[in-house]
């Protein structure tokens, strides 16, 4: 897995893989039939990360 992630870093994947995978896992753990995952994967919805203070 480490080798695959290292190769992703060389440009094979056009975006942050680990944060996206973590967000998907959290959404699906909360609601396995989440509509938002289908919308994100189809491009119908756009998401962004945001951190609060602290």
Note whether residue 6 is domain-resident: no
Per the structure, the count of domains in the chain is 1
Rounded distance, CA 3 to CA 53, Å? 34
Give the pLDDT score at 14: 63
pLDDT tens-digit series, residues 15-45: 676 777 777 777 777 776 778 777 877 889 8
Q: How many CA atoms lie within 13 A of 41 on its CB side?
A: 9
Distance from chain centroid for Cα 35? 15
Note whether residue 2 is domain-resident: no
Note whether residue 3 is domain-resident: no
Angle subtended by helix axes 35-42 and 17-30, to nearest 10: 150
> How would residue 54 be classed by pLDDT, with cut points 50, 70 and 90?
low
Note whether residue 30 is domain-resident: yes
Note whether residue 7 is domain-resident: no
Rounded distance, CA 45 to CA 17, Å? 18
Q: How is residue 36 written in tokens?
A: 């938002």
Note whether residue 4 is domain-resident: no
Q: Which domain holds residue 52?
A: 14-54
Note whether residue 24 is domain-resident: yes
Give pTM, 2 decimals: 0.39
Note whether residue 32 is domain-resident: yes
């Amino acid at each position: 897995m480490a080798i695959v992630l290292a190769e992703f870093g060389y440009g094979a994947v056009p975006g942050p893989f680990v944060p996206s995978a973590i967000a998907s896992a959290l959404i699906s753990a909360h609601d396995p039939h989440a509509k938002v995952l289908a919308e994100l994967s189809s491009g119908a919805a756009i998401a962004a990360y945001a951190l609060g203070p602290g």
